[in-house]
Amino acid sequence: MAVCVAVIAKENYPLYIRSIPTENELKFHYMVHTSLDVVDEKISAMGKALVDQRELYLGLLYPTEDYKVYGYVTNSKVKFVMVVDSSNTALRDNEIRSMFRKLHNSYTDVMCNPFYNPGDRIHSRAFDSMVTSMMIQVC
């Protein structure tokens, strides 16, 4: 269902990006990259809210003709961006939310790995398979 999943570091460079139509990967790179503008905007708007009350899920960042881009930001300002086919109307906000939560949990596991240096690209098989499951899972 998700066609592209990206994890973006606090300094706005990709830690992980994977998309299903691999032949046009760059398109998704551009899409996720430009979505960061909206993420930044949303974060700065949220800045005033108390940290513990902050909603991590940013909701729909922007729709394009074929896709919808959703965002999620952790408390450490690591961003998750998911691109979903806009033809898939079955996807509700709640499902997106739960997918992000799964992604966040998996990311936390990656960070718990003592051999992972924060800031490096993620090369985790467990994370990979989790992302794969999110991409092919049909609901």
Partner 1 sequence: MSVPDYMQCAEDHQTLLVVVQPVGIVSEENFFKIYKRISSVSQISVRDSQRVLYIRYRHHYPPENNEWGDFQTHRKVVGLITITDCFSAKDWPQTFEKFHVQKEIYGSTLYDSRLFVFGLQGEIAEQPRTDVAFYPNYEDCQTVEKRIEDFIESLFIVLESKRLDRATDKSGDKIPLLCVPFEKKDFVGLDTDSRHYKKRCQGRMRKHVGDLCLQAGMLQDSLVHYHMSVELLRSVNDFLWLGAALEGLCSASVIYHYPGGTGGETGARRFQGSSLPAEAANRHRPGAQEVLIDPGALTTNGINPDTSAEIGRAKNCLSPEDIIDKYKEAISYYSKYKNAGVIELEACVKAVRVLAIQKRSMEASEFLQNAVYINLRQLSEEEKIQRYSILSELYELIGFHRKSAFFKRVAAMQCVAPSIAEPGWRACYKLLLETLPGYSLSLDPKDFSKGTHRGWAAVQMRLLHELVYASRRMGNPALSVRHLSFLLQTMLDFLSDQEKKDVTQSLENYTCKCPGTMELLTLPGGPTLPPVPFTKLPIVRRVKLLNLPASLRPQKMKSLLGQNVSTKSPFIYSPIIAHNRGEERNKKIDFQWVQGDVCEVQLMVYNPMPFELRVENMGLLTSGVEFESLPAALSLPAESGLYPVTLVGVPQTTGTITVNGYHTTVFGVFSDCLLDNLPGVKTSGSTVEVIPALPRLQISTSLPRSAHSLQPSSGDETSTNVSVQLYNGETQQLVIKLENIGMEPLEKLEVTSKILTTKEKLYGDFLSWNLEETLAQFPLQPGKVATFVVNIKVKLDFSCQENLLQDLSDDGISVSGFPLCSPFRQVVRPRVESKPVNPPEGSKPGDPSHVKTLEAILNFKYSGGPGHVEGYYRNLSLGLHVEAEPSVFFTRVSTLPATSTRQCHLLLDVFNSTEHELTVSARGNEELILHAGECQRLQDNPPSEIPEERQSYFPLRGIWLQIGDKCEVRVKLSSRRGEASVEGLLNQLVLEHLQLAPLQWDVLVDGQPCDCEAAACRVGDPVRLEVRLTNRSPRSVGPFALTVAPFQDHQNGVHNYDLHDAVSFVGSSTFYLDAVQPAGQSACLGALLFLYTGDFFLHIRFHQDSASKDLPPSWFCLPSVHVRALEAPA
Q: Can you tell me the distance from the alpha carbon of 110 to that of 28, in angstroms, rounded to the nearest whole number? A: 23
Nearer to partner 1, 12 or 98 (CB): 12
Residues at the contact surface with partner 1, assessed by CB under 8 A: 9, 11-14, 17, 25-26, 29-30, 33-34, 36-38, 41-42, 45, 62-63, 65, 119
Least CB distance from residue 113 to partner 1, whole Å? 19
Nearer to partner 1, 33 or 102 (CB): 33
Q: Is 33 left (phi over 0), alpha (psi -120 to 50) or beta?
A: alpha
Least CB distance from residue 128 to partner 1, whole Å? 18
The distance of Cα 40 from the centroid of its chain, to the nearest Å, equals 14
- The dihedral sign for the CA sequence 74, 71, 110, 30: negative
Least CB distance from residue 64 to partner 1, whole Å? 9
Least CB distance from residue 85 to partner 1, whole Å? 18
Nearer to partner 1, 37 or 93 (CB): 37
Nearer to partner 1, 94 or 117 (CB): 117
DSSP notation for 60-127:
EEEE-SSEEEEEEE-TT--EEEEEEETT-TT--HHHHHHHHHHHHHHHHHHHH-TTPPTTSPP--HHH
